[in-house]
Amino acid sequence: MLYSTAKKYNLLGHVHNMLDTVTAIPKLTWKRLVTNSVHHRYKARWQMTCAMYPKLHVYREVVSSITVSMWWHVCRHSPAMTKNCKLLMTLIAGEHRLRTGRGRHVASTLNCQNCDMHTPETLRHVLCQCPNPVLVAVRDREWHNLTVMMPPPMIQDIVMMPDQQKMVLLLSGLGGGYVSEWQGVYVGIATLITTLYRTHISLWSAEQRAAQVPE
Ligand SMILES: [Zn+2]
């Protein structure tokens, strides 16, 4: 039983070493080894499961560890943001109504119909690229509201980033754990993303999408 458990969690080498040298690993060191091995095994299994679902490609980039989402902490500190944070989580999980998401079932093309870029209607396109004048106005306004709360070097770094990296950084809440001093910035990010998404969807209404269903 002990042998098979050690094998399952890739700890057999340590067990053999203890038997060969007749030297026990200190209790705390063994505890740390077991914790790391168990965590590593379940993280690998979780990553493998995520890799099986193509629509989780944004999720895989945004979420790097099995832990409570930082957007949950944002909700807890600003309950008025609950709806926006829920929408954020669905966007991260690839559950959006864009033509590259659920919208593809009723659309004749995957390309954005809110502009002339002839490019797929992805989350990145909506958040960073779509030049539709209505969307540009919302993007400028919400970006301004967000950046007034950021230190200039951070703004400079984000502006210089490629769009994909920028999108991942914003969706992940600046890529790190929750820091209470940054609550205002997190709220600004959630507002920027959800307002852009809702505006983009409203420009191309559900009725118009339904009309695109092929005969
Ligand atoms: Zn567009």
**Mean predicted confidence (pLDDT) in 184-213:** 82
Q: Residue 30 is which amino acid?
A: W
Which residues 6+ apart lie within 8 Å of 182 measured at CB? 174
Compute, in angstroms, the gap from residue 100 CA to the centroid of ligand 1: 12
Q: Is the pLDDT of residue 215 over 60?
A: no
Q: What is the pLDDT of residue 213?
A: 47
CA 105 to ligand 1 centroid distance, Å: 19
Q: Which two tokens stand for residue 127?
A: 């958040």
Give the distance (Å) from ligand 1 centre to CA of residue 77: 34
Whether pTM > 0.85 for this model: the answer is: no
Q: Give the pLDDT mean for 117-129.
A: 93
